[in-house]
Chains A and B, each alone.
Chain A
């Protein structure tokens, strides 16, 4: 294992300390391992928090700031944060109008957020939550933990954060978040595995001529392992199952998000984006907005994911609204 770390057990804490050192104008650190918007709470405004295992940077801490998240809880690498963290975050951002929890659909995340919500409500804070489950690689059936929350989470946090910033109430913010979830679909793939610092060995093995289609963001294996293909073929493999969902139709406007898994250079993401754009044009689907870059990663994994979000006017307006966070910044 070759990594830019000091001690495996210190990686998360030291990274958070670095974020605060770099972005102290935007965020502050509260115990235990919670990044909070520097000027939170905002009286009378809904607080929006999220959180999850570390190793997906910039998600979630990089999205704390004006117009996006009010706080983010950082768990150990690929491990859900503990309820103490979500409770601390909820209290730190509670301006009296309630707090929305944006939760990615993983068994551990759900249980820990549930425990935290019970505790926060017992202490008098109104909490609503929305579970993001946009990964089409997972069969959504009674026999699995359900679809995973992946790229759609980034889009939900941006759009919902903008609505909260403008003063939408908790029910409206929750309904908007649910609408983003219902209209977003993602699919990812990996060219290489990744190594959890504390584990020291790669989570899975892929030979030089193989790739994993339908990968999650924790190095958990995907839908199938196949021979390496060209970027255009990979873009096809990712977009086809998304379009099969029946959510996107000719004439729709979408936000297309081509994401890097952490170890893939931007030049390759644009090669993929070019093909995604071509596929959607051929289908008569308009890319009204886009995002290209590594925003929800899996440590040093090489690979990409594609997320499509069917936009409506309200979502588009909130997407365009000013945002000022370590990782996303426009309109300010």
Chain B
């Protein structure tokens, strides 16, 4: 059950739709500990991605991911643009020119994306960032990718949620939330939240392919 370009496009479409639904909720989280624009920026970027998506489908999944990354870098701004953009760009590079991906190849691409995010944003675990949801999700996939694919995706989404919630009591150390110091404790991180939506979307879009 290899993953095709349309499969992956479906996941991007679902992620974009969920971001639109969660736009105000993400913005409210960001108003509490950031500058109140995370939902607005992610939604603007993914509206642009969804608008161009039909033109991104001519080549393999790698080309699709690269074009999504470039579009986000060009439209989101803030820190989220370079971070999510770098994530999908690196995924695309790791996928190469393959026409279809085995699950293990998708997981390797996600790992490459994570390394790119860490390199660009210089976040370490427990800084209370998107990395705290992304890393456990990808580690869960790496552990379980050899078994049932649906269960592997479910465990990734679950790990992302747990990672997001685990850092809520912590002090933020990166981005604008870090200016709050102790006052950032108890607030759910907006970046970890949008990353959790990403892994939930991957599950919902890709778990049923066969």
A interface residues (Cβ-Cβ under 8 A, vs B): 53, 75-84, 106-108, 111-112, 114-115, 137-139, 143-145, 148, 196, 198-199, 201, 203-204, 216, 218-222
B interface residues (Cβ-Cβ under 8 A, vs A): 27, 31, 34-37, 40-41, 44, 73-83, 120-121, 171, 173-176, 178-181, 183
| Nearest neighbor of A214 in chain B, beta-carbon distance | B179
Docked-complex contact B80 and A108, CB < 8 angstroms? yes
Docked-complex contact A76 and B175, CB < 8 angstroms? no
Docked-complex contact A83 and B73, CB < 8 angstroms? yes
Give Cα A135 to B23, complex, Å.
31
| Nearest neighbor of A201 in chain B, beta-carbon distance | B31
Docked-complex contact A84 and B79, CB < 8 angstroms? no
How far in angstroms is the closest Cβ of chain A from B99?
Answer: 30
How far in angstroms is the closest Cβ of chain B from A256?
Answer: 25
Docked-complex contact A198 and B176, CB < 8 angstroms? no
Docked-complex contact B174 and A107, CB < 8 angstroms? yes
Give Cα A111 to B77, complex, Å.
9
A108 and B181 contact, Cβ closer than 8 Å, known pairs A145-B176, A198-B40, A220-B35 = no
Docked-complex contact B74 and A83, CB < 8 angstroms? yes
Docked-complex contact A203 and B35, CB < 8 angstroms? yes
How far in angstroms is the closest Cβ of chain A from B27?
Answer: 6
Contact of B174 among A75, A79, A145, A220 (CB under 8 A): A145
Consensus secondary structure, chain A interface: loop
With A76-B40, A79-B77 given, name 6 new contacts (CB 8 A): A75-B78, A79-B40, A84-B74, A138-B179, A198-B37, A222-B179
A78 and B36 contact, Cβ closer than 8 Å, known pairs A106-B176, A107-B176, A144-B173 = yes
How far in angstroms is the closest Cβ of chain A from B82?
Answer: 4
Docked-complex contact A76 and B37, CB < 8 angstroms? yes
Note all chain A residues with C-beta closer than 8 A to B44: 76
A199 and B77 contact, Cβ closer than 8 Å, known pairs A107-B174, A139-B181 = no
Docked-complex contact A199 and B27, CB < 8 angstroms? yes
How far in angstroms is the closest Cβ of chain A from B74?
Answer: 5
6 residue pairs bridging A and B, Cβ less than 8 Å apart: A76-B77, A79-B77, A111-B79, A143-B173, A145-B179, A203-B36
Note all chain B residues with C-beta closer than 8 A to A84: 73-74
A216 and B179 contact, Cβ closer than 8 Å, known pairs A82-B75, A111-B79, A112-B77 = yes
Give Cα A84 to B180, complex, Å.
31
A77 and B121 contact, Cβ closer than 8 Å, known pairs A83-B73, A144-B173, A218-B176 = no
Note all chain A residues with C-beta closer than 8 A to B79: 80, 106-108, 111
Note all chain A residues with C-beta closer than 8 A to B80: 108
Docked-complex contact A112 and B183, CB < 8 angstroms? no
Give Cα A75 to B78, complex, Å.
9
| Nearest neighbor of B35 in chain A, beta-carbon distance | A218
Contact of A75 among B73, B77, B121, B178 (CB under 8 A): B77
Note all chain B residues with C-beta closer than 8 A to A143: 171, 173, 178
How far in angstroms is the closest Cβ of chain B from A113?
Answer: 10
